[in-house]
Homo-oligomer: A and B are copies of this chain.
Amino acid sequence: MTDVPLSLSFNPAGIELDRRQGLSRQLYQALRMRVLDGRLASGTRLPASRDLAAALAISRNSVVRAYDQLYAEGFIEGRVGDGTYVAQITSSTLPGKKLSTKVSTGISTDLPTGLSTKQSNLPGVLSSEVIHSGALARVERNHLPTPPSGPPRAFRVGVPAFDLFPFEVWAKLNAAFWRKPDLQQLCYGDPSGDARLRAMIAAYLRSSRGMQCTAEQIVITSGAQQGISLCAQLLVEPGDAVAIENPGYRAAGHAFAVAGARLHGVAVDSEGIDCTQLARLGDCRLTYVTPSHQYPTGVVMSLARRLELLAWAERTQGWIVEDDYDGEYRYSGAPLAPLAALDRQGRVLYVGTFGKVAFPALRLGYLVLPPGLVQAFAQRRAVDVRHSEVSTQAVMAEFMAAGHFQRHIRRMRRAALGRRNCLLAHWPANIEGVGSPPAVMAGLHMTVAVSSLAREQELIEQAESVGVEVNGLSSYWLPDSKEPLDQRAGLVLGFAAVPEPAIEKALARLREVWCN
């Protein structure tokens, strides 16, 4: 990498920010685009956050957050005591010739002088005193981006129609639990979780998913993320290869990377993860998949592919982590059996969550494990957190036992279907560079193709300018993906977060900014 003087390598003058919009996000997008298209070459030193903030006349906090996300996604990297640099991205990901031609274009700078001192080149997020342990560094490299804040709005991804949750019932069940608690339940409990809740979940999965599981195979978790993270902590040794879908659920990839995994992105075709590509990896220890509704493309894994994946696990003695994050939402066609229901070799770990049926902040999920793994997972969970908070588990068990859960799932499925139909019915026709919407047979979001990365970013910025959240498909790819940048472009829209009238209004606003 070249360590060119700052004044020759980074020109913030080219970055224009709209002060009425989220500055941090705009800056992130502007920098990311420049890294991807080669205007910011690998090895370019970025200015310290305070200096860039001064140059752009925005708050330092906005710069820190933008750097933060770029760092999390692998676009920039810190060197201890030596500032922040554009990361080495494999040349295949960069549009060939632009690299050498563009790197020398940013000549002038508005930045104040004196930036070359080590101190001022370190942005706040990469403070030198903390980056000295491998574990800390892995976390810094692999953290989740800050989730969107504020009340739910169109088209936030990952949020169900929780405005329909029966909060009054939940309040009553909570009050009933706390008025007469069983004192025995308030001491230290079973790390696997509340026995009654585990039995309810097993019964639910047997009837709704055709899984032949028992309560003893269930370990309660703090949401799907803890389920995935436990798999990473227990099944992955530093240096192990782990396969993940690409594009895919980046938070899962981060959990495996934090455990020291070498991540391999595997392509997803119309039948699901490409098992031929997976088999070629050779030394892969674990594969993470979302077969019911691939995240984020929406592909449902075919039965043939499911069997091929199970055969891979048996042949290699590998593990499959099956994340069934939104399996409750299926709108047409017969549901396929989960991998965990097809598994005869005890190689599948099934991750379930209440977050997409109730609401994410409940942080309640579960793992269904091969019997031989249950004890180790429960033991690890005990060392990590002892067990989950008592009332959430007990109240959910009662909610299920009393039939509220099954009724609520039906209500949520109807609501999501109505909101999906509204999105598809009012989706603007003929948006330049945007493909037709897919069928959306399942889940809570849809993904549409976009012709180029630049167009994707433009559409997202335009949506943001009218208060609509749209995710870029490009952000679901691993930074070192081989696929050309423009093939990674697309839009991901969650359709369940708000009711139909809000969906219609949001689409009307999008039509204005997207179709003119």
Contacts and interface: CB of A to CB of B under 8 A. Distances in A.
A9 to B, nearest CB: 26
**Copies of the polypeptide in the assembly:** 2
Interface string A174-210: 1111111101111111010000000000000000000
A74 interface: no
Contact of A143 (B129, B136, B222, B382): B382
A64 to B, nearest CB: 10
Interface in A378-394: 379-380, 382-392
Of the four ranges (under 10, 10 to 19, 20 to 34, 35 or more), the interface on chain A belongs to 35 or more
Given A150-B184, A189-B361, A361-B389, A135 B383 contact: no
Contacts of A389: 222, 361-364, 388-389, 392
A99 to B, nearest CB: 31
Nearest to A364: B389
A187 B375 contact: no
B383 A185 contact: no
B149 A184 contact: yes
A179 B364 CA distance: 20
Given A144-B379, A234-B136, A179 B167 contact: yes
A427 interface: no
Interface stretch (A25-33, A223-231, A298-306): A223-231
Nearest to A191: B144
A361 B184 CA distance: 10
A515 B383 CA distance: 39
A171 interface: yes
Interface in A96-147: 125, 127, 129-130, 133-136, 139-140, 142-144, 147
A403 interface: no
Interface in A432-454: none
A349 to B, nearest CB: 12
B159 A187 contact: yes
Given A171-B179, A178-B170, A226-B384, A136 B235 contact: yes
A346 interface: yes
A363 B376 contact: no
A237 B390 CA distance: 32
Interface stretch (A44-52, A250-258, A471-479): A250-258
A18 interface: no
A512 interface: no
A223 B385 contact: yes
A178 B184 contact: no
Nearest to A151: B184
A360 interface: yes
A481 to B, nearest CB: 21
Interface in A146-166: 147-152, 156, 158-159, 162-163
B237 A133 contact: yes
Contacts of A135: 233-237, 259
A168 interface: yes
A362 B394 CA distance: 12
Nearest to A222: B385
A147 B188 contact: yes
Given A175-B174, A186-B359, A187-B156, A385 B226 contact: yes
Contacts of A222: 222, 385-386, 388-389
Which of A133, A150, A251, A375 is the most central at the interface, judged by chain B CB atoms within 10 Å of its CB? Answer: A375
A79 interface: no
Contacts of A148: 187
B363 A388 contact: yes
Contacts of A267: none
B152 A181 contact: no
Of the candidates A226, A233, A376, the one having the most CB atoms from chain B within 10 angstroms of its own CB is A376
A344 interface: no
Given A142-B383, A363-B386, A187 B147 contact: yes
A148 B392 CA distance: 22
Q: Which of A150, A156, A183 has the most CB of B within 10 A?
A: A183
- From A130, A172, A388, name the one whose CB has the most chain B CB atoms within 10 angstroms: A130
Q: Which 5 A-B pairs have the closest CB atoms?
A: A143-B379, A171-B178, A147-B188, A361-B390, A175-B175
Interface of A: 125, 127, 129-130, 133-136, 139-140, 142-144, 147-152, 156, 158-159, 162-163, 167-168, 170-172, 174-181, 183-189, 191, 222-223, 225-226, 229, 233-238, 251, 254-255, 258-259, 346, 359-364, 372-373, 375-376, 379-380, 382-392
5 contacts: A130-B372, A135-B233, A139-B376, A143-B380, A384-B384
Given A133-B235, A139-B383, A159-B187, 10 more contacts: A129-B346, A139-B379, A143-B382, A162-B183, A174-B175, A185-B361, A223-B386, A225-B383, A254-B383, A258-B380
